[in-house]
Structure 1
Amino acid sequence: MSAAFIEPMVGRYLHVEIGGQDCRVYFEECGSGIPLVCLHTAGADSRQFRHLLCDEAVTSQYRVIAFDMPWHGKSYPPEGAQDGEYQLTTERYVETIRAFCAALGLEQPVVMGCSIGGRIVLQLAHAHGAEFRALIGLEAADFQQPWYDTAWLHRGDVHGGEVCAALVSGLVAPQSPARYRHETLWQYMQSGPGVFRGDLYFYRVDADLRGKLGNIDARATPLYLLTGEYDFSCSPDDTRRTARGIDGARVVEMKEVGHFPMSENPEQFRRYILPVLAQIAAQPG
């Protein structure tokens, strides 16, 4: 029997105005130094970054902060949200991230996002790059051709959480340990009704960035794009195609991981993310 212990991260709630609404946003943090804000995937929450929050190799130099978007995890929907349908737009997503960083007084943070978080990182680089020390897109590309029917994600005759988990299960690499595979899928099973589908409105409809990223200067604000070799939703080729249109973007193909590197195989992920974080920390602030 293993000894009891307490993990080092601390959780809090932040009240911040987003889109004219008061939002109660849950976040966890650990460490000190350069702020590193982590953005979860569609339909999931900040638990995807729990391993990074406990990694002393990271938290010795970075203040790692992972938050649940409104409607996700421990962050409730805003008051009155039950009267409408949740749809994440590019404008609201950007406003959420910038409002969160401003409310915490973060100066020149690093932002790292996965999947939809990786897509919005590209938009941040495009429209607000000077606000950040560096940007890291995991499983990020300017566009992916839809390969599934989102109507199944919010129906009265099916279990939405199980359908969401089943949909993404094939995006986990076969080498990922079973315990972490199941953790990753469990987060999807717990998503609120219609939340995954609402996030995918941003991903599939509102955020086609093809041909819109030519103004990004990744030499001024470093942009790292890391994609798992087993990700067929956002393939390494998708990421490389995107990077060809961005001056100075750095691409890494991660072996033996899929679409959720930080949660499905944290040990393999740290082999790729630690060198990136070391490079960022070594640059002048």
Structure 2
Amino acid sequence: MQIADLSALKIHYTDEGDPNGAPIVFANSLGTDLRLWDKLVPLLPAGLRIIRYDKRGHGLTQATPAPYSMGTLIRDVETLLDHLQVKDALFVGLSIGGMIGQGLAVKRPDLVRALVISNSAAKMGTAEMWNTRIANCRENGVGSIAGVTMERWFGKRFRATPELEAWQNMLSRQDLEGYTGCCAAIAGTDFYTPTSGLRLPVLGIAGTEDGSSPPDLVRETIDLVPGSKFEMIRGAGHLPCVEDPEEYARILKDFIKETGHVH
């Protein structure tokens, strides 16, 4: 386990693969940690430098008092990548991770040469919806929303497997400040205008059974960027890299080849 002790935050991250390889950076969804990508990493092509991290208040990264702004979450990963001397990464962001990726690509084009916006959008939900969730979690705990969240996160087939309990436990044990802090960041974010100005290779990935970011919402954001690509994973929900890692890896490997993201 590696901790980057940065001035504003202690960030837990992993740095695997070829240290001299083309960097690929993964950013997780709300309520999960970097284990989100465990099934996918072994399926990636050889020769990549694979960086994963836990965002503020998630996993083993330090939690600070809520609320957070999206700008803060973007600055966290920007500082981490500068610390690791990473440039020209392929950034793969899922859910809130996809929002962080959009913001980072706009702010620091030197850090992001290609972007995967997975199960995410330029704007997700309404401020009222997120504020209601924050209030509910503060009153009843994050665990109180875990059951209904699993229905949005996963397709019917996956929900019938024993593994579901692990993901429900991960969410239930999520730090309250970290979870509600990131909810507040999403509530305050509308990236339609900045994302429409991006001019880099963009791939959108959606799950047909995603109750949090339905395919049409993802596609609407991807279509903002000229020349972008959109792929759908059938039968998967909000976390398709967990439900169908082989198909997710195939789509990602094709994008890596198309963008020439190899050293």
TM bucket normalised to smaller = 0.7 to 0.9
Match of 1:235 in 2: 214
What's 1:7 paired with? none
1:109 aligns with 2:89: yes
Instruction: Tell me the CA shift for residue 101 of structure 1.
Output: 0.4
Change (3 A) 1:26 1:59: farther
Deviation digits for residues 38-91 of structure 1 (CA, Å, limit 9, x no counterpart): 1111122111111223x1x415131211111232111223xxx4xxx3122121
1:211 deviation in Å? 3.5
- Alignment match, 2:121: 141
Match of 2:24 in 1: 36
Distance 2:226 2:125 in 1: 24
Q: Provide the rounded CA distance (Å) in 2 between the counterparts of 1:96 and 1:16.
A: 9
Q: After superposition, give the CA deviation of every residue in 1:90-110 in whole Å (9 maximum; x if it has no partner).
A: 211111111010101112111
Counterpart in the other structure of 2:34 = 46
Distance in 1 (CA, whole Å) between partners of 2:240 and 2:137 is: 23
Tell which deviates more after alignment, 141-150 or 28-37.
Answer: 141-150
In the alignment, structure 1 residue 190 sits paired with structure 2 residue 176: no
TM-score by structure 2 length?
0.88
Distance in structure 1 (CA, Å) of the matches to 2:166 and 2:207: 18
**CA distance in structure 2 between the aligned counterparts of 1:284 and 1:39, rounded to whole angstroms:** 20
Q: Distance in 1 between matches of 2:261 and 2:55?
A: 30
Q: Decide whether the 8 Å contact of 1:26 with 1:68 is kept in 2.
A: yes
In the alignment, what sits opposite 1:213? Answer: 195
Say which one has the larger Rg. 1
Shift of 1:34: 1.4
Which SS does the other structure have where 1:175 is aligned?
helix
Which of 104, 112, 136 is residue 152 of structure 1 equivalent to? 136
Q: Equivalent residue of 2:230, what SS?
A: strand
Aligned equivalent of 2:51, options 65, 81, 94: 65
Q: Select which of 140, 148, 165 maps to 2:146.
A: 165
2:11 counterpart residue number: 25
Match of 1:12 in 2: 2
Q: CA RMSD in A?
A: 2.1
Aligned length: 255
Q: CA 1:47/1:198 → structure 2, altered by over 3 Å: closer, same or farther? A: same
Q: Which amino acid aligns with 2:94?
A: C
TM-score (ref. length: structure 1) = 0.81
- Residues 174, 203 of structure 1: alpha-carbon distance in 2 compared, 3 angstrom cutoff: same
CA contact (8 A) 1:31 1:59 kept: no
Q: Residue deviations 1:259-284, cap 9 Å, x none?
A: 1112233234323323223333x357
* Structure 1 unaligned regions, length at least 5: 1-10
Q: Calculate percent identity across the aligned residue pairs.
A: 18
User: How far apart in 2 are the matches of 1:75 and 1:214?
Assistant: 31
Distance in 1 between the 2:87 and 2:261 partners?
Answer: 15
Q: Distance in 1 between matches of 2:50 and 2:203?
A: 17
Q: For the residues of structure 2 that align with 1:249 and 1:180, how far apart are their CA atoms?
A: 34
Select the structure with the greater relative contact order (CA < 8 A; seq sep ≥ 6).
2
The answer (yes or no) to whether the contact 2:58–2:179 under 8 Å persists in 1 is no
One-letter amino acid of the structure 2 residue matched with residue 95 of structure 1: R
Structure 1 263/186 Cα, relative in aligned 2: closer, same or farther at 3 Å? farther
The answer to whether 1:201 aligns with 2:189 is no
**Aligned equivalent of 2:223:** 244
Change (3 A) 1:15 1:194: closer
What is the SS of the residue equivalent to 1:140? coil
Aligned mate of 1:124, from 104, 122, 144: 104
Which AA in structure 2 matches 1:72?
A: H
Q: In 1, distance between residues paired with 2:93 and 2:120?
A: 8
1:182 maps to amino acid: E
> Which structure: greater helix fraction?
2
Deviations 1:191-234 (A, max 9, x none): 01232221111112x211233433111xxx21111111111221
Unaligned runs of 5+ in 2: none
Could you tell me which amino acid in structure 1 is paired with residue 117 of structure 2? G
Paired with 1:93 and 1:34, the residues of 2 have a C-alpha distance of 24
> Secondary structure, in 3 states, of the residue corresponding to 1:211?
helix
